[in-house]
A = this chain, B = another copy of it.
Amino acid sequence: MGLIVQKYGGTSVGDIERIKNVARRVAEYHARGDRVVVVVSAMSGVTDKLIKMAKEIMPLPNEREMDMLLATGEQTTIALTAMALQAIGVKAVSLTGAQAGIVTDGVHTKAKIMNISPKKVHALLNEGHVVIVAGFQGETPEGQITTLGRGGSDLTAIALAAALKADLCQIYTDVDGVYTADPRIVPNARKMDEIAYDEMLELAGAGAKVMQLRSVEFAKKFGVIFEVRSSMNNNPGTIVKEETKSMEGVVIRGVALDKNQAKITVLGVPDQPGTAARIFKALADVAINVDMIVQNTSAGAQATDISFTVDKADLLKAQKVIEGLKSEMGLKGVQADEKIAKLSIVGVGMRSHSGVAAKMFDTLAREGVNIQMISTSEIKISVVINLDRAEAAARAIHAAFIG
């Protein structure tokens, strides 16, 4: 018996029958005496449908209004989930992010959780309720509704687990756990039993879709051990936790392919101190996350080109920002390329094994895949390659390193 936070993603609550399944699972934990907090996402497809409606009105809708709009998705699910529990005799009550005490900053559509006041959740748990909390959303201290960005429901769950000092945090999803690669792309991919926070972080950053980067960062920071598992069966999932000595035996834990990146090349950037800073500060000011950056300046050149990658969703906005700097900075032009992908390999074992990069580049060369950009960390190597060859490249890399 303990306090459990369970998070169910959009597929797990995708229709009424699935919501009833979630309720039955929650009821089992409740029946054995656990105090259960359930965090749910919007039913699958709902958020996309809302975004589509907004974009029919204007291509770049106001972000405060987007949050007002998108927050309805999770609010719908919490009410239905609470009803589904009540229907099978379990005391349950739903709370919006705001009602659950989730306070965020004011960066609409990508808000950060500032703090959580778990008083109300604790009070309701003490009364014997299962508490259903809307994931993905919060409220500023001024009472504005905010959303945390895609994957924000995981963050809600992990932050709540930390704030409530939960004994267990389970992230239920539509896959059995964290895989060595996306099984839809790499048929040989297999489920891991455990993975270190840092590996999970690099995989998430590299585009593995299981979890958002900052949910894992948050878990690492607050030491929240969590399990990624399926809501469709009772198989054990993947435990995400602090790195252990035994993990180093595995050189490459996983392969990730991110097809959701786009590349922007800024042409003719004057070769002066501070120019790169101005470009990336302008992007940061509008909360665009830049991933990889490459700049190569020839000796004696007056100007240079800078390439970087952003989420495809931010491409239009990023282009606008750079266009806005064009005359002021004397830039020559902006090129955008959506036809790219980022392929990464991750493993804490990389620290104690050499030649990993060479083997990766060699494997790609033998596949005839051209490398456009390279970026490395202590436990990760990423390359940007052509989108058309990306899946074949992922399979070759998985075969070379994992099997």
Interface residues of A (CB under 8 A from B): 16, 19-20, 50, 53-54, 56-58, 61-62, 64-66, 68-69, 71-73, 75-76, 78-80, 82-84, 86-87, 93-94, 96, 99, 143, 145
How far, in whole Å, are A58 and B81 apart by their CA atoms in the complex?
11
Q: Identify the closest chain B residue to A74 (Cβ).
A: B72
Could you say which residues of chain B place their CB within 8 Å of the CB of A82?
62, 65, 68
Measured between beta carbons, the chain B residues less than 8 angstroms from A58 are 83, 86-87
- Tell me if B69 and A76 are in contact (CB < 8 A): yes
Could you give 29 example pairs across A and B, Cβ below 8 Å?
A: A16-B53, A16-B57, A20-B57, A50-B76, A53-B80, A54-B79, A54-B83, A57-B87, A58-B83, A58-B86, A58-B87, A61-B86, A62-B82, A62-B86, A65-B80, A65-B83, A65-B86, A65-B93, A65-B94, A68-B82, A68-B94, A69-B75, A69-B76, A69-B79, A69-B80, A69-B83, A71-B75, A72-B76, A99-B143
Instruction: Indicate which residue in B61, B75, B80 contacts A83 across the interface (CB closer than 8 Å).
Output: B61
Shortest distance in angstroms between A167's beta carbon and chain B's nearest beta carbon? Answer: 27
**Which B residues touch A78, using CB under 8 A?**
68
Chain B residues lying within 8 Å of A83, measured Cβ to Cβ, are 54, 57-58, 61-62, 65, 69
Chain B CB within 10 A, most for which of A50, A62, A84:
A62
In the docked arrangement, what's the CA distance between A68 and B94, Å?
A: 8
Output the nearest chain B residue to A57 by Cβ-Cβ distance. B83
Min CB distance A184 to B, Å, is: 30
- A19 proximity list for chain B (CB < 8 A): 57
In the assembly, what is the distance between CA of A71 and CA of B78, in Å? 12
Most buried by B among A75, A80, A83, A86: A83
For the complex, give the distance between the alpha carbons of A39 and B50 in Å: 20
- With both beta carbons as reference points, the residue of chain B lying nearest to A67 in the complex is identified as B79
Contact between B75 and A16 (Cβ–Cβ < 8 Å)?
A: no
A312 to chain B, nearest CB (A): 22
B56 touches A79 (CB 8 A): no
Q: Report whether B79 and A66 are in contact in the complex, using a CB–CB cutoff of 8 Å.
A: yes
A79 lies within 8 A of B68 (CB)? yes
List the B side residues contacting A93 at CB < 8 Å. 64-65
Q: Measured between alpha carbons, how far is A76 from B65 in the docked complex, in Å?
A: 9
Let me know if A54 and B80 touch, CB within 8 A.
Answer: yes
Q: How far is the CA of A65 from the CA of B54 in the complex (A)?
A: 27
**A75–B75 alpha-carbon span in the complex (Å):** 10
Chain B's closest residue to A64 (CB) is B93
- Which residue of B is nearest A99, CB measured? B143
Chain B residues with CB under 8 A of A76: 50, 69, 72
- Of the candidates A50, A72, A79, A83, the one having the most CB atoms from chain B within 10 angstroms of its own CB is A79
- Chain B nearest CB: distance from A306 CB in Å? 33
* B-chain residues with CB within 8 Å of residue A69 when the two chains form the complex: 75-76, 79-80, 83
A96 to B65, CA, bound (A): 11
Q: Which residue of B lies closest to A20 (CB)?
A: B57
Option from B16, B53, B75 in Cβ contact (under 8 Å) with A72 = B75
For the complex of A and B, the 9 pairs showing the least CB-CB separation, nearest first, are A69-B79, A72-B72, A68-B79, A58-B87, A57-B83, A65-B79, A16-B56, A65-B82, A61-B83
**Measured CA separation A86–B83 after assembly (Å):** 37
For A58, the closest partner residue in chain B by CB is B87
Closest-by-CB residue of B relative to A66 is B79
Q: Chain B residues near A57 (CB, 8 Å)?
A: 16, 19-20, 80, 83-84, 87
Chain B residue contacts of A71, Cβ below 8 A = 75
CA distance A20 to B58 in the complex (A): 11
Minimal beta-carbon separation of A85 from chain B (angstroms): 10
